[in-house]
Amino acid sequence: MEAIARRAGVSKETLYRWWPSKIEVILAAMVEHGQVSIPLPDSGDLPGDLRAFLRSTIDALDGTTALLLRAVAAAAATDQAVADGVRDRFLHTRRAALGTLLDRAVARGEIPDEHTTSLVDFVYGSLWYRLIFGIGRLDHRWADETATAITAITAISRQPAPLPPLPPG
């Protein structure tokens, strides 16, 4: 906190008035970072939107960000009050962004409405799981594979309708 106050040219008291703890400063920075560096694509179809959104998410996950997010996860895992704050102040903003993409796909008839909460869990769940436990890669290939697996659920509406039977004769 001392270093941040010095760099921002304000007193530590001012800093604490706005962000009562270190985790609050980190969360505010993460919210801002996400909003600035992860645009909401609107390409007109879910596979394209999801791929672009997940690639930007990965690009935003630089070394410092990954380190801070792992620290946030550790704090949340051992303190329910911290977990509540992380969920309501930061995770919520990311879920809402992805939710917007999914809601547009529902409105276009691409995916059924009933699975959107599970899909948001699947995307951010696998991201945090890989980040925390160092499972596999977190790169553009991961982004593309995840987008493909998620949109496989749309397959049902993408099946060509069966051809009508030929008229007799």
Nearer to a second copy, 9 or 165 (CB): 165
Which segment (9-17, 20-28, 40-48, 81-89) binds a second copy by CB under 8 A?
81-89
Which segment (5-13, 14-22, 98-106, 134-142) binds a second copy by CB under 8 A?
134-142
CB of 17 to a second copy, least distance (A): 27
DSSP conformational letter for 121: H
Using rule CB under 8 A, residue 152 touches a second copy: yes
> Could you write out the DSSP letters of every residue in 31-83?
HHHHHHHS-----SSHHHHHHHHHHHHHHH--HHHHHHHHHHHHHHHH-HHHH
Which of 44, 78, 107, 109: binder of a second copy (CB under 8 A)? 78
Which of 3, 36, 107, 156: binder of a second copy (CB under 8 A)? 156
Cβ atoms of 151 and 47 within 8 Å: the answer is: yes
